[in-house]
Amino acid sequence: MNISQPLLIEGQDWTCYFSPGDREKLVFKSSGTELLSVHGMAFGKFDESSSCCRKSKKHEAIDGLNSSFETVNVMPFGSEPAITRKCEISGNHASVTTDFDLRSRMEAGVFEVDNILVRGEWSRIGTLMVSSPVPMADEIRWHDAGARLSLELDGIPLILLFERADGTRLEIGSGDDLWRWLNTAAFPGSSQSVVIEKIKEGIYIRRRVAAWSSDAVIMARQYRFSWYFAWETSGMKFLGGDGNMPAAADAEIFTFPEGEVPQQLAACHGGRNLGVSCFHSPAVSGIFRSLIRSVLGSQKPRDLVIGNLVVPLCETAAHLERPQRQQLLHWNMTRFFDHWLWANKQLRNSGVSFYAIPAMDGKVFPLLPSVKGLSRIVGSK
């Protein structure tokens, strides 16, 4: 069955639209202005624009804290590979998971995942590669987004950060499953890159997970990639936006241990304890849940604020329940999105909220809409 009915989900200041048969597989608008559209997968001379939609559904939570949709697009050639895309939006961020089910091998010169058009005029673009496990602000490389913009990044970046003169920011980040994005062993003889180019409609991003000098065989299997985007506009207000923490009388303030972090809690990279917590660790998740339950058990609940949020990279495979592996590189961003949403769902009926304020000291997190949004004051646009 070929589905033609479009889907629309919307929040306080945004809309997300999917129309079967259109070139764009997701169109996102903030405050009525289109920010980005996803053009989907591409494999040499084939791309997702020729697909047929076999399934589409949406879910909007009763509490209004999150909305999501899922689509299945089938490519009408060969064994009919299927592309399943899930998008969940809450707060000022969206998490996207794309599964490509290749039922028999195919030949192509390039394998591109969820190419994106960032709409409109932008002043500059920041690129942050997968390097330091606790990224610092000075690791961002800024590029002028003028008419001659043409970049090719060697490898898959951790973050792309777009800025406008009016203060609008758009962040596009790789998901927590970095080991999948960086798994060049799945594509022997290939190279990876991201091509960023100014075109008439805006800035086009091609995420080349694998590219060869001539056609090569892509093996049959299911390929999964996750990523996210987050946005910030001038009307948004954030807790601690003046650099000061809330007064203790206004909220429960909690800081995760830093420095001497127990091994079962710690993010580890390159064989060393980074001195910060990994939110994929079951022990860290347990501490977090206990914090939320302690607020719910209080006679006079108050907002809970984490005051030193660090979103690290970690290589401990056991955090991902993969004990057969020693190392799997993962990022903590979308994991913390899940923690933030779960906490606010638990606290909602008590009339209080959960916030997280990014750690300072030169780290990149205070610049990112994704992390800043976790301290967004309810009701601000």
In angstroms, the CA 186 to CA 159 distance is: 23
According to DSSP, the β-strands at 251-254 and 303-309 are parallel
The model's pLDDT over 148-172, given as tens digits with 9 standing for 90+, comes to 899 999 999 999 999 999 999 999 9
β-bridge mates for residue 36, sequence order = 28, 118
- Phi, psi torsion values for 364, nearest 5 degrees: -75, -20
For residue 172, give the 3-state DSSP assignment.
strand
Torsion of CA 284, 288, 293, 296, to 10 degrees: 170
Q: How far apart are the C-alpha atoms of 112 and 41, rounded to whole Å?
A: 6
C-alpha 13/C-alpha 29 separation (Å) is: 8
Q: Please enumerate in sequence order all residues whose Cβ is within 8 A of that of 153, keeping only pairs 6 or more positions apart, or say none.
A: 127, 129, 193, 194, 195, 196
d(CA 291, CA 287): 6
Domains annotated on the chain, with CATH: 7-232 (2.70.98.10), 251-375 (no CATH)
* Residue whose token pair is 């300072």: 360
Dist CA 173 CA 122 (whole Å): 18
Q: Are the CB atoms for 6 and 57 separated by under 8 Å?
A: no
The pLDDT value given to residue 244? 61
Which pLDDT belongs to residue 379? 56
Q: Which helix (H) or strand (E) holds 33?
A: strand 33-43
Neighbours of 280 (CB within 10 A): 21
CA neighbor of 186 nearest in space, from 244, 236, 225: 225
Distance CA 259, CA 266 (A): 10
Reported pTM: 0.95
Beta-bridge mates of residue 236: none
Q: Rounded to whole angstroms, what are the CA distances from 94 to 131, 207, 218, 334?
A: 24, 18, 29, 9
Closest CA to 156 of 215, 203, 113: 113
Distance, CA of 108 to CA of 45 (rounded, Å): 8
* Ranges under pLDDT 70 in the chain: 1, 241-249, 322-323, 378-381
Q: How many of the other CB atoms lie within 10 Å of CB of 200?
A: 5
Instruction: Please state the length of the chain.
Output: 381
- Cα distance between residue 130 and residue 158, in whole Å: 5
Q: Which two tokens stand for residue 160?
A: 């792309």
Say how many C-beta atoms besides its own lie within 10 A of residue 191's C-beta. Answer: 13
Q: Residue 323: its pLDDT value, please?
A: 65
How far is the CA of 17 from the CAs of 157, 178, 287, in angstroms? 26, 27, 37
Predicted pLDDT at 194: 97
